[in-house]
Structure 1
Amino acid sequence: MPFTLATWNINSVRLREQIVVDLMTQEAPDVLCLQECKSPVEKIPMEQFQALGYSHMVARGQKGYNGVAILSKLPMEEVAAYDYAGLGHARHVAGRLSNGVTVHNFYVPAGGDIPDREKNEKFGQKLDYLADMRDGFAAAKPEKAILVGDLNIAPREDDVWDHKKLLKIVSHTPIEVEALADVQAAGDWVDVTRADIPDGLLYSWWSYRAKDWDGADKGRRLDHVWATPDIASAAHSSKVLRHVRGWEKPSDHAPVFATFDI
Structure 2
Amino acid sequence: MTWPVWLLIAYFLIAITSLADRIVVAKEIDRPAAYSFLVAALGSIVIFLAPFGFYILPLPELSAAFLAGGITVPALYYLYRALKHGQASAVFPFIGSISTIGIFVLSYFFLHERLNSIQISGVVLLLIGSYIVSREVGRSKGVGKPGSALLAGIFLAVTYTAAKYVYNGGEFIAGLIWIRLFAFLVATLILLSPKNRRALKALVKPSRGDARGLILLGQGTSAIGFLILNYTISLVSVTIVSAAIGLQYVYILILGLILRKKYPKLLPGKLRGKVLGTRIVGIAVVIVGLILVVS
What TM-score do you get using the length of structure 1 for normalisation? 0.27
Task: Compute the TM-score of the two structures, normalised by the length of structure 2.
Answer: 0.25
Structure number with the higher strand fraction is 1
Say which structure, 1 or 2, has more relative contact order (CA 8 Å, 6+ apart). 2
